[in-house]
Amino acid sequence: MHPIINKLQTEIEKYDIPANRLNYQRFFKEKIEDPYGLKTSILRLISSRLFKDIKALPKDEILKICNELLTLNKKYFRFFAFEWALKVSDKYEVADFKCFEKWLNEHVNSWASCDSLSCGALGVLLDKFPTLFQKTKKWAKSKNRWLRRASAVSLIISLRNKHALDHAFEIANILLIDSDDMVQKGYGWMLKEAGDNYRDEVFDYVMKHKTKMPRTALRYAIEKFPPAMRKKAMA
């Protein structure tokens, strides 16, 4: 075990007091095993402080530490793994996709962990190497709800940077009538973010498919539209 992991555990125990905890159950429909967790601000404080000890290491060594954190499967370790992986994004290579896809398959078990990885390290990697978009399309057809959600939300960073619109519509087409509300919210959110830079294109897409789109996805997609456009889409 890398020494930083023992140091991390000590820091967690030091800060894990009632005053620093938040009841996370209200954010989840499904019952979570231990609803009380450290506030995100506290976790980020620990993350920034300890990352200084390993930031000089090669990227692959840092990702190896992140992988070890995930494998240990202890409380809070997933947060630090995804945070530290994002901190070396300037050194990403195409080959890192295999690592992040493995994490998505094996260590994501809620919308929170899905979005943390998809809108963090994974999303940045896809934005940096758009040729990887095609590799994510199979996720949209997976039996795993979190892979289907990730196929959409992992595009959000790219959409904010004004590309990947065609791929976003491809993913939305696959997920269009998905019955899972977490997936509906995911691709609806993706379309909403796309609408910031491509409002007319997203509105046209919504109008074309609104009779098939679940109401949850539709409401998410049009949330930022002007009132008149929202009214027309919901009619």
Give the DSSP H or E segment for 69.
Answer: helix 59-72
- 7-16, 21-30, 44-53, 56-65: lowest mean pLDDT where? 21-30
**pLDDT band for position 1 (50/70/90)?**
confident
Predicted TM-score (pTM) of this structure: 0.92
How much is the pLDDT for 106? 97
Q: Which residues of 169-178 are buried (b: 16+ CB within 10 A; e: fewer)?
A: bbbbebbeeb
CB 25 within 8 A of CB 32: yes
Q: Which residues contact 193 (CB under 8 A, 6 or more apart)?
A: 156, 159, 160
| Mean of pLDDT values over 80-88 | 98
Q: DSSP letter at 22?
A: E
Residue reference for tokens 């094996």? 106
| Mean of the per-residue pLDDT values of the chain | 94
| Mean of pLDDT values over 129-143 | 96
How much is the pLDDT for 128? 97
Tens of pLDDT, residue by residue over 144-160, are 999 999 999 999 999 99
How many residues are listed for the chain in this entry? 235
Give SS3 for 144: coil
Q: Which residues of 77-98 are buried (b: 16+ CB within 10 A; e: fewer)?
A: bbbbbbbbbbbbbeebeeebbe
| Mean of pLDDT values over 105-129 | 96
CB 99 within 8 A of CB 108: no
pLDDT at 35 over 80: no
| Mean of pLDDT values over 38-44 | 90
How much is the pLDDT for 62? 98
Tens of pLDDT, residue by residue over 178-211, are 999 999 999 999 999 999 999 999 999 999 999 9
Q: List the structure tokens of 232.
A: 């027309």
The structural domains of the chain, ordered by start, are 1-91 (no CATH), 111-235 (1.25.10.90)
Q: Which residues share a beta bridge with 37?
A: 22
Q: What separation in angstroms does the CA of 225 have from each of 33, 49, 68?
A: 38, 41, 43
| Mean of pLDDT values over 116-127 | 98
pLDDT at 54 over 70: yes
Residue reference for tokens 């690592």? 99
| Mean of pLDDT values over 103-115 | 95
- How far is the C-alpha of 235 from the C-alpha of 233, rounded, in Å? 6
- 28-37, 96-105, 133-142, 224-233: lowest mean pLDDT where? 28-37
Long-range contacts of 6-14 (CB under 8 A, 24+ apart): 7/50, 7/53, 8/46, 8/50, 8/69, 8/77, 8/80, 9/74, 11/46, 11/49, 11/50, 12/38, 12/46, 12/75, 12/76
- How far is the C-alpha of 40 from the C-alpha of 27, rounded, in Å? 14
